[in-house]
């Protein structure tokens, strides 16, 4: 399989974005923009004939998270389009690009869940990845062009001795094929055009990095848990250089994104089967949804009365008074009668709504937010 290195590299972290403009929403205060499905041309005359006789299915309000176990070969944009079609959802977006050659957790927000995307993107990520030693490539992954080779291979002892240097807050130079902007241009566009791009190092945090397997002298498998902005490809590149050989990513799987782990992932074939059963009346698509507030696990919840909820729903602040006033400040998510109402800021004796949720439509079944 041959792929454009600007769109097919394994990066593993959302700053290496090939389609972030379409699906991710970095502005916490702005509304998430709906995903637009690409137009497809169908040259089958039977399909064209049917098209004139069959009305287009109406989109509907669907609210919640689906954590797709993305298969290798599918782009994040394609995954969002598939789920949007399966759920007939009006709005959808993902929380962090996962490149085509990577598999694993791709959290997809439907409907009002798109308002919580930034909270997932800012969370920790966990990856299991394999480094192939002896070659460095211009994209730092298997799809790139070989730029340097070495006959040297690192020992397990040498690798394990190196890992502490890549743990904690480190300075990392992003890959040349990344979405970092250089004088208004994406670095991967400049690199694809043959320009030499020098990117400045920047601090990233590696919470955990371990060697988990070394099946042969040419490959080593690692697990890493890292913060926002980390490039797994850059880890492979830099470890290879320090070890006196070269390295690039040849396999990558994401196992954690913010609050979503492997137990939350749904393979595409299982999701399609559930949709088929739901269409025949044997199940409900709500079984595949996780509640919108699952993305808000790391911030406190604040319950209010129905009277206060009515004010917040209109965008009005609510005063905190009496002995029962919450002793908290900062960002909270507000509930009324156990139902998500708004994201708000608490301070100076009042609750100020920032994002109000309208969860009319299909939502997760009760109890679906209990983790396995």
pLDDT digits (tens, 9 = 90+) for 222-254: 999 999 889 999 999 999 999 999 999 999 999
Q: Which of the residues 16, 69, 99, 264 is marked catalytic? A: 99
Note the pLDDT of residue 46.
37
Is 12's pLDDT higher than 70? no
Of 302, 314, 306, whose CA–CA distance to 344 is shortest? 302
Q: Which residue has the higher pLDDT, 12 or 255?
A: 255
Note the pLDDT of residue 24.
32
Note the pLDDT of residue 100.
84
Note the pLDDT of residue 321.
74
Give the mean pLDDT of 345-357. 90
Is 158's pLDDT higher than 50? yes
61 included as an active-site residue: no
pLDDT tier at 28 (50, 70, 90 boundaries)? Answer: very low
Note the pLDDT of residue 40.
38
Task: Write the pLDDT tens digit of every residue in 298-311.
Answer: 899 999 999 999 99
Note the pLDDT of residue 255.
97
Q: What angle do CA 194, 200, 204 make, to 5 degrees?
A: 120
Is 54's pLDDT higher than 80? no
Is 35's pLDDT higher than 50? no
- Give me the chain's average pLDDT, please: 82
pTM summary value? 0.79
Is 348's pLDDT higher than 50? yes
pLDDT tier at 332 (50, 70, 90 boundaries)? Answer: very high
- Report the distance separating Cα 300 and Cα 284, nearest Å: 30
Give the mean pLDDT of 156-172. 96
Note the pLDDT of residue 324.
59
Q: Which residue has the higher pLDDT, 133 or 17?
A: 133
Q: Which residue has the higher pLDDT, 366 or 335?
A: 335
**Which of 52-66, 87-101, 165-179, 260-274 has the lowest average pLDDT?**
52-66
């Amino acid at each position: 399989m041959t792929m454009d290195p600007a769109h097919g590299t394994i990066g593993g972290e959302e700053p290496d974005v090939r389609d972030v403009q379409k699906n991710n929403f970095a502005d916490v205060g702005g509304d998430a923009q709906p995903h637009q499905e690409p137009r497809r041309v169908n040259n089958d005359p039977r399909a064209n004939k049917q098209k004139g006789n069959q009305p287009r299915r109406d989109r509907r309000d669907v609210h919640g998270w689906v954590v797709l176990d993305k298969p290798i070969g599918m782009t994040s944009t394609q995954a969002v389009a598939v789920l949007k079609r399966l759920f007939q959802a009006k709005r959808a977006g993902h929380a962090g690009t996962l490149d085509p050659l990577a598999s694993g957790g791709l959290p997809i927000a439907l409907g009002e869940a798109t308002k919580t995307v930034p909270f997932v993107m800012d969370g920790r990520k966990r990856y299991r990845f394999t480094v192939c030693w002896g070659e460095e490539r211009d994209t730092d992954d298997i799809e790139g062009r070989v730029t340097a080779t070495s006959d040297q291979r690192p020992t397990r002892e040498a690798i394990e001795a190196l890992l502490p240097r890549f743990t904690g807050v480190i300075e990392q130079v992003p890959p040349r094929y990344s979405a970092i902007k250089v004088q208004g241009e994406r670095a991967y566009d400049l690199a694809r055009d043959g320009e030499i791009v020098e990117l400045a190092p920047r601090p990233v945090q590696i919470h955990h990095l371990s060697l988990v397997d070394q099946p042969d002298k040419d490959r080593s498998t690692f697990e890493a848990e890292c913060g926002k902005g980390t490039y797994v490809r850059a880890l492979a590149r830099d470890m290879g250089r320090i070890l006196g050989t070269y390295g690039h990513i040849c396999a990558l799987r994401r196992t954690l994104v913010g609050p979503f782990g492997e137990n939350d992932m749904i393979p595409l074939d299982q999701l399609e089967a559930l949709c088929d059963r739901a269409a025949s009346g044997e199940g409900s698509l709500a079984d595949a949804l996780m509640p919108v507030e699952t993305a808000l696990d790391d911030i406190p919840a604040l319950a209010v009365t129905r009277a206060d909820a009515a004010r917040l729903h209109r965008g009005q602040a609510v005063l905190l008074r009496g002995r029962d006033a919450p002793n908290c400040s900062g960002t909270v998510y507000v509930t009324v009668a156990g139902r998500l109402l708004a994201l708000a800021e608490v301070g100076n004796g009042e609750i100020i709504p920032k994002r109000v949720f309208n969860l009319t439509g299909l939502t997760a079944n009760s109890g679906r937010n209990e983790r396995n």
